[in-house]
Structure formats: C-alpha cells, structure tokens
Amino acid sequence: MNNKVSNNRAWLLVLPMLVLVAFSAIIPLMTVVNYSVQDVLGPNASFFTGTEWFKSMLNDSALQAAFVRQIAFSLVILAIQIPLGIGIALIMPKRGWQASAVLILITLPLLIPWNVVGSIWQIFTRGDIGLMGWGLRELGIDYNITRHSGDAWVTIVLMDVWHWTPLVAMLCYSGLRSIPEAYYQAARIDRASKWAVFRYIQLPKLTNVLVIAVLLRFMHSFMIYAEPFVLTGGGPGSSTTFLSQALTTMAVGQQDLGPSAAFSLIYFLVILLVSWVFYTTIMHMQKDKPPQGGA
Amino acid sequence: MSYRLENTQQGEKYTTIFSRITPAQRRHRSARSRWRANCLLGVYLILMILPIYWLINMSLQTNSEILGSMTLWPQNLTFDNYIRIFTNSSWYMGYVNSMLYVAMNMLITICVALPAAYAFSRFTFIGDKHLFFWLLTNLMAPPAVFLLPYFQLYYSVGLFDTHIAVALAHCLFNIPLAIWILEGFMSSVPREIDETAYIDGYSFPRFFVKIFIPMIRSGIGVTLFFLFMFSWVELLLARTLTATNAQPIGMIMTRTSTASGIDWGTLAAAGVLTIIPGILVVYFVRNHIAKGFALGRT
C-alpha cells in the first residue's frame, strides 16, 4: 500500500500496544543489560565490571561448542525441512474434504505443547516401551539415545523435522494456492514439463513465503529449548546441549547473573544479526530481478 | 517430447506436432502421478501420526501392560488414566490454568493489536518503520534470555504465580506476531472503504467496530489461532512465572516421574489431553488457515 496518509495521531492507536510490549520487553532487557556490566555479590553489593563478562563469555569453550552445535543444528534442519515442506505442499490435495482433513492432520504437531513433543518422542524412542526404539532394536540396530550421541542427534533432528516441517508445508501450500489457474493453463498450452512448471511458475511465486519460512525456522530452531531438554536433557554428556539450555543452566541453575546476562545479550544479537542479514540479502536479490508480478 | 512438424496433413495427428504422447496416455499419466502423489502423502501422514498414535495407545493401557509386553494396540482397554486426571483437581486444574492464561493473552493481545495494526497499515507516522522493526525483533528474542528478569519483574510487582503474569509475558512474542498478521490482512482491504465510511458520517470507533472488524474477521480468526498456538505451546516462561496456583499442565506432567518410576500411562493420557484443544481450534479455522499461514500476504 503506497497511498498511506501521514498522520502522527496514529501514535495514539499504537500507544496501548507500546506500553504492554515495553513492559514485557524493555524493562527486562534493561535488567539484562544492567546485570551484564556488573558483578552482583548480594542485594546491595555490586560493582561495575565493564565488558569483562562479555570477554569471558566469548572465550568460554563450552559456550563456543554449544554455539557451533546450535549452528549445525539450525543448518541441518533447514536443509531438511525446507525441501521436504515444499514437496509436501506440492502433493497436498487442493480442494474437497480431503484438503481439510489433510490440513488439520498436518497442522497437528504444531499445536502440541513443546514439552509434550519431547515426551512423545522420549516415549516413542525408548528401547523398552517405544515403538521406534523397540523396532530398531528388533532389527538388530544398537539404538540408544541416552548412550550414543549420534543417536541422540539423529533423534532430535527427526523430532524437529516431525514437529516443524508442517509449518513450512503450510506456508508453501498457502503460497501455491495464490497462483492463478491461468498460469497453469498457459503452461499446459506450452506443453511445459512438470519440472518447468515448478521451476518457472511455482518456485518464483513461493519466494515470499519461503523467506518467511526460513526466517521463522531459523529463529525458532535457534531458540530450541523444551524438546531436547525433555528428550535427552542435553546429553549424552553435552552433545545435544544447545544455546538456550546452556543459558538456563547458567542463569537459573548456577545463578551466575553477570555472565549469563552477557551471554543473553550476545545470543539475542546473533539472532538479530543473522535474521537481518538474511532478510536484507533476499530483499536486495529480489530488487535486482525484474518484478515477478504481484505476489 | 518432440517438435517435428511432419504429419500435419491429417487433423487426427495434430497432437503429434508437439509431443508423441496421445491425450489418452496423458490422462493416464496424470492419473498415475496423482496416485503416486497420494501414496507419498499417505506415507508422510502415517509416519507423522505414528508417534501420536503411540501416545494414545499407551494412554489406554495400564502401566503393567505398558512395561510388561510390546503391544501394538491396547489388549485390555482401560480409561483409568483419564479418569485419574479428571477426578484429581491438582491434575485438571493444570488444564484450567493453561486455558485461562491462553484466553487472557488472546484477549489482551487482540485488543491492543487491532488498533496498532490499523495504524501501521493505514498511516505513516514518525518512527513507524523503526517501531515495526523493533516489534519484530521481539519475535526473535529467545525466552531463555528473559527468564530471570521476568521472574524478578513479576515478583517485584506482586504478580508472580498469577495467570495474568503468564498472559502478559506471552504478549512479548504474541503482540508483534498479531500485528504482523493483522497488518497483512488489513492492507488487503482497500482504503476507499475507510474514506466512504467517513463521508457517510461514521466516527472512527464506530467505523472500526461496525465495518472494519467484520471485513477482516477471517484474519482475526486466523490471528487468534496463531495466538492460541504460540501461547499454548510455550512452557519455559509459563513455568518460570508460576509456582502452584497458576501452574500450567506441562509442568504438572513432570509430576508423573516419582521415586518409584514413571507413571507412563498417566503421562501419556495427560499428553493426549493437551493435543485436543489444538485440534478443536484448528478445526474452526480450517478454511482460512491456508491464507493465514502466509500471514495474510498472498
């Protein structure tokens, strides 16, 4: 919409929202900033430390390992979920009761509380009572997520794919539905192959929703906490301890206010930075191309 | 495919100009590819349902049956696990608590997000772009970052262990999300409608409630769905801000692991019951959900 009216009284409409979000975002964030530059010894005993906590956090080898793990995890799940989601969206029925039924079924994992997702997979993969764990054991595979870090990783990736691929699929599905039938008719007249239809009609039209999908998936996977916490508890060892869990252990478990606050800020800034870089790059790429028509 | 131009003298062979495939073959092929697509989709859905099925299966068994033998379906069906949850107030109050704070959050969020989204979709004002970007950054804030400050903040204002505390905390990510989605839906309503209404003598509040909100009601429905979804599934903040009076069901579920082992049957039953509200909600918005997932921007 380019025909917006300039009107500063619009601030009045935004104000109630601003007060609420400020209460739940700015005050806590300021508390974090406050802690990150101080060493808190007691209620009234704290002194200014400057950037000391930030330096020690950036050099902490355990956190660096968690960070690398986190990035690896996010990349792996993006590499699996985005193509899989597109594929599912392409084969979903477009109309009739089947469409509604498939829609409801596919959305199901998104509406399960995250810790219950963890519980479901914990039960499902247990060797004694879980279908998957028991089945693999019967097949002669030595599968144990509490002992082998490889198994734990595969299971967490599988769980996340199970949990979040529906989001990508739903986004792509809604993108596909917005393509006018005339495009497909034109393609049929041209005798375009299925691949050509996908490559030159569907994929360009999906760009917008795919940007949203990648952003949302990156953000959420980077904050993942409850599912691996319930499923593996970060183990075996610390092989599946991701950033959120490392942070909560430090902040709540050990009560290290200063370091954990510094860590929080670095963590937040990394997510912001990556999202911003991704978003601006994509938008620049789109600007360079000739316009694809309204999307 | 071949593009040879011979055989054009007979109209009958017209299709062979472009391809060797006859219409009958083409229909056959597309039916076959449709069938193959349905098969793939079926396999995916089965794999997807399997973990949930296993949970339901376990929730209908006694603990001795769960631990004793591997049964693909309940041998002697029992509803004891569900009865235990519905007759024990410390269990079912968990659901009530979760529902309460989710409902409060949805109400608060939609009330403040509707005017704000209208402002973003209709007006330019000083700092609007920065404000919108700042809002979106809140979506990216890991809840783990806010854990400790939230605890201290709500404790100091005396809201700790109340439903409203969790509802307000979830506003952190739900308000930006709601504004983002609603702004997309509102921008697809032409401005002329607003102007016509003002010419007809509507005041802004009356126009907004009587005309504008009914026009974007599918958008509001979808927004409420997303608000429900993200508030219902979040546990980290909800757990931190509550102790006993407003404890969410997700936290109460951890009670099933005791010194004498884990009560798998009850855990599974409680898990199944957390899935049901989601199914109900998605059923209500099923016709609009596809548009909603693109955040109203298709």
Contact A5 B113 (CB under 8 A): no
> Other CB atoms closer than 10 Å to residue B89's CB: what's the count?
9
Q: Which of A100, A112, A222, A263 to mutate to test the interface with B (most CBs of B within 10 A)?
A: A112
Q: What is the pLDDT of residue B217?
A: 84
Nearest CB partner across the interface for A120, out of B19, B51, B118: B51
| Pair of tokens at residue A147 | 């002992």
Same-domain check for residues A283 and A216:
yes
Q: What is the pLDDT of residue A27?
A: 86
Whether residue A5 lies inside any domain: the answer is no
In this prediction, residue B1 has a pLDDT band, given cuts at 50, 70 and 90, of very low
Which residues from chain B sit within 8 angstroms of residue A27, using beta carbons? 149, 153
Q: What is the pLDDT of residues A225-236, one digit of tens each?
A: 888 888 887 778
Whether residue A131 lies inside any domain: the answer is yes
Q: How far is B25 from chain A (nearest CA, A)?
A: 14
Same-domain check for residues A41 and A172:
no
B141 close contact with A: CB closer than 8 A:
yes
pLDDT over 50 at B13, yes or no: no
* 3-state per-residue secondary structure call for B182-248: HHHHHHCCCHHHHHHHHHCCCCHHHHHHHHHHHHCHHHHHHHHHHHHHHHHHCCHHHHHCCCCCCCC
Q: What is the pLDDT of residue A84?
A: 93
Q: What is the pLDDT of residue B2?
A: 43
Whether residue A295 lies inside any domain: the answer is no
pLDDT over 80 at B149, yes or no: yes
φ/ψ (deg, to 5) at A45: -120, 100
State the sign of the Cα–Cα–Cα–Cα dihedral A173, A174, A176, A177.
Answer: positive
Q: What is the pLDDT of residue B295?
A: 62
Q: What is the pTM of this model?
A: 0.84
Q: What is the pLDDT of residue B8?
A: 44
Same-domain check for residues A117 and A261:
yes
Among chain A residues, the shortest Cα distance to B37 is held by A91
In this prediction, residue B22 has a pLDDT band, given cuts at 50, 70 and 90, of low
- Partners of A46 in the β-ladder: A40
Q: How far is B37 from chain A (nearest CA, A)?
A: 5
Pick from B147, B102, B83: which is nearest to B281 by CA? B102
B271 close contact with A: CB closer than 8 A:
yes
Give B1 or B110, the one with higher predicted confidence.
B110
Average pLDDT over every residue of B82-110:
89
Contact B116 A17 (CB under 8 A): yes
Q: What is the pLDDT of residue A292?
A: 45
Same-domain check for residues A40 and A104:
no
Whether residue A1 lies inside any domain: the answer is no
Among chain A residues, the shortest Cα distance to B233 is held by A113
- For residue B218, give every residue at least 6 positions away whose Cβ sits within 8 Å of its Cβ, in sequence order, or none: B185, B287, B288, B291, B292
Which residues from chain A sit within 8 angstroms of residue B113, using beta carbons? 17
Which residues from chain A sit within 8 angstroms of residue B63, using beta carbons? none
pLDDT over 60 at B95, yes or no: yes
Among chain A residues, the shortest Cα distance to B265 is held by A123
Contact A14 B115 (CB under 8 A): yes
Domain carrying residue A46 = 11-50
Same-domain check for residues A176 and A278:
yes
Unique residue bearing structure tokens 């959900």? B289
Contact B298 A174 (CB under 8 A): yes
Contact B290 A103 (CB under 8 A): yes
Pick from A220, A11, A175, A14: which is nearest to B179 by CA? A14
Rg of chain A over CA atoms, in angstroms? 24
- For residue A235, give every residue at least 6 positions away whose Cβ sits within 8 Å of its Cβ, in sequence order, or none: A146, A152, A241
Residues of chain A with pLDDT under 50: 1, 290-295
- Partners of A38 in the β-ladder: A48
- The CA distances from residue B48 to A108, A112, A160, B43, B189, in Å, are 9, 13, 12, 8, 37
Q: What is the pLDDT of residue A288?
A: 63
Whether residue A46 lies inside any domain: the answer is yes
Give A294 or B138, the one with higher predicted confidence.
B138
Which residues from chain A sit within 8 angstroms of residue B120, using beta carbons? 14
This model of the complex carries an ipTM of 0.83
Whether residue A91 lies inside any domain: the answer is yes
Q: What is the pLDDT of residue B241?
A: 87
Q: What is the pLDDT of residue B296?
A: 57
Q: What is the pLDDT of residue B23?
A: 66
Give A144 or B40, the one with higher predicted confidence.
B40
Contact A27 B124 (CB under 8 A): no
Q: How far is A244 from chain B (nearest CA, A)?
A: 6
The whole-angstrom separation of Cα A141 and Cα B59 is 27
Contact A110 B274 (CB under 8 A): no
Among chain A residues, the shortest Cα distance to B284 is held by A104
Q: What is the pLDDT of residue B67?
A: 77
pLDDT over 80 at B234, yes or no: yes
Unique residue bearing structure tokens 């993969």? A125
Which residues from chain A sit within 8 angstroms of residue B45, using beta carbons? 102, 105-106
Same-domain check for residues A81 and A153:
yes
Q: What is the pLDDT of residue A139?
A: 85
The whole-angstrom separation of Cα B206 and Cα B203 is 5
Whether residue A6 lies inside any domain: the answer is no
The whole-angstrom separation of Cα B144 and Cα B146 is 5
Same-domain check for residues A79 and A196:
yes
Same-domain check for residues A81 and A185:
yes
Helix axes A203-222, A61-91, angle to 10 degrees: 150
pLDDT cut 70: percent of chain B above it: 87
Q: How far is A264 from chain B (nearest CA, A)?
A: 5
In this prediction, residue B7 has a pLDDT band, given cuts at 50, 70 and 90, of very low
> Other CB atoms closer than 10 Å to residue B87's CB: what's the count?
9
Whether residue A160 lies inside any domain: the answer is yes
Report the mean per-residue pLDDT for chain B. 82
Transcribe chain A into DSSP letters. ---PEE-TTHHHHHHHHHHHHIIIIIHHHHHHHHHHTEEEEETTEEEE-TTHHHHHHHT-HHHHHHHHHHHHHHHHHHHHHHHHHHHHHHHS--SHHHHHHHHHHHHGGGGS-HHHHHHHHHHHH-TTT-HHHHHHHHTT----TTT-HHHHHHHHHHHHHHHHHHHHHHHHHHHHHTS-HHHHHHHHHTT--HHHHIIIIIHHHHHHHHHHHHHHHHHHHHT--HHHHHHTTT-STTTT--HHHHHHIIIIIS--HHHHHHHHHHHHHHHHHHHHHHHHHHHHHHHHSPP----
Q: Is the peptide bond before A180 cis (omega within 30 degrees of 0)?
A: no
Q: What is the pLDDT of residue A85?
A: 93
Q: What is the pLDDT of residue A87?
A: 92
Provide the domain count of chain A: 2
Same-domain check for residues A157 and A177:
yes
Q: Which of B145, B226, B228 to mutate to test the interface with A (most CBs of A within 10 A)?
A: B145
Same-domain check for residues A137 and A198:
yes
pLDDT over 50 at B5, yes or no: no
Pick from A173, A224, A137: which is nearest to B234 by CA? A224
Q: What is the pLDDT of residue B26?
A: 66
Contacting B residues, span 184-223, partner chain A, CB-CB under 8 Å = 187, 191
Q: What is the pLDDT of residues A240-263, one digit of tens each?
A: 888 888 888 887 777 777 888 888
In this prediction, residue B14 has a pLDDT band, given cuts at 50, 70 and 90, of very low
Q: What is the pLDDT of residues B179-227, one digit of tens each?
A: 988 888 888 888 888 888 888 888 888 888 888 988 888 888 888 988 9
B185 in Cβ contact with B295 (< 8 Å): no
Same-domain check for residues A141 and A225:
yes
Pick from A57, A39, A59, A41: which is nearest to A49 by CA? A39
Contact A31 B264 (CB under 8 A): no
Q: What is the pLDDT of residue A271?
A: 85
Same-domain check for residues A116 and A239:
yes
> Other CB atoms closer than 10 Å to residue B36's CB: what's the count?
11
